[in-house]
Amino acid sequence: MTSPGFVLFDLDGTLIRPGAPVQRLHMSTMAAAIADVCGTAEEFRYEGGQLFYADIDLAGFTDAGTVHAALRHHGVPAGRLPRLTRQVMDALATRIGGSAADGDAGAGDLLPGCRALLEALRGHGCPLGMSTGNARSVARWKMRRTGLADLLRDGGFGDAARDRDDVVAAGVAALGGHGPGVVVGDTAKDVTAAHASGLRCLAVATGATPADELRAAGADAVVADLGGSAALDAVLRLLTPVASTEGVR
């Protein structure tokens, strides 16, 4: 079967419910890793589905970007930020690696329609990957915990990249970059990062960003969620260069 193109998925807010247990464990583990290095850490908190560290709005942040911002918040001098950021990321990987994750105990953390959409796209011959701000170890841990590891493994991750453009570019490279591609995400940064790599973006209004803001950011199509046939139809339409996206909302 000839692939119609590849699809990269954001995780938190797109496939995984904002504030779901698996996400909260990710952030509490990161806070512990920050404390390992700094001796102190703030608690991550959710307000209206959006994640904050102190007063820092983390929408679209990568793990490396979040750690960098947290260390700056704690007064780490600029010259020490790169080394200490790497130390925290190493501590995060070690800690998350020790967390129970196998099986589908976290399947309830998924937003509706996720697995059905992934399986349908695979059935159409689309290579699938991740374009996530999560560190690679965290992303794979989440996929094991939510039962999606058989569908999503490679892609672009937030281990070192602080810019979502770099994350998408890494995802394209991981999947070979052949043919048209679509990024599925829930933030304006997913939209702009997709376009920076020459891809289209299907934005899903399941995160903290309203549909009208996703449209204003330039999303090529917007859907309310990934359930039903609308998301699958929209992705396949966006993978067809001559197709019109008018009316997909």
> What pLDDT digit, counting tens, does each position of 150-185 carry?
999 999 999 988 899 999 999 999 999 878 999 999
Residue 244: is its pLDDT beyond 60?
A: no
Q: What is the pLDDT of residues 92-102, one digit of tens each?
A: 999 998 775 45
Region 30-59 average pLDDT: 92
Q: What is the pLDDT of residues 45-83, one digit of tens each?
A: 988 778 899 999 998 899 999 999 999 999 999 999 999
* Predicted pLDDT at 243: 40
Q: Which helix (H) or strand (E) holds 192?
A: helix 188-196
Q: Which of 118, 185, 186 has its CA nearest to residue 146?
A: 118
* Predicted pLDDT at 223: 98
Region 104-121 average pLDDT: 89
| pTM reported for the whole predicted model | 0.91
Region 105-131 average pLDDT: 93
Report the mean per-residue pLDDT for the chain: 91
Q: How far apart are CA 51 and CA 27, in angstroms?
A: 10
Kindly list the strands in the beta sheet with 6-9, ordered across the sheet, starting from the edge strand earlier in the chain: 155-156, 128-131, 6-9, 181-185, 200-204, 221-223
Residue 184 CB neighbour total at 10 angstroms: 29
- CB neighbours of 128 closer than 8 A, spacing ≥ 6? 6, 7, 8, 9, 118, 121, 122, 151, 152
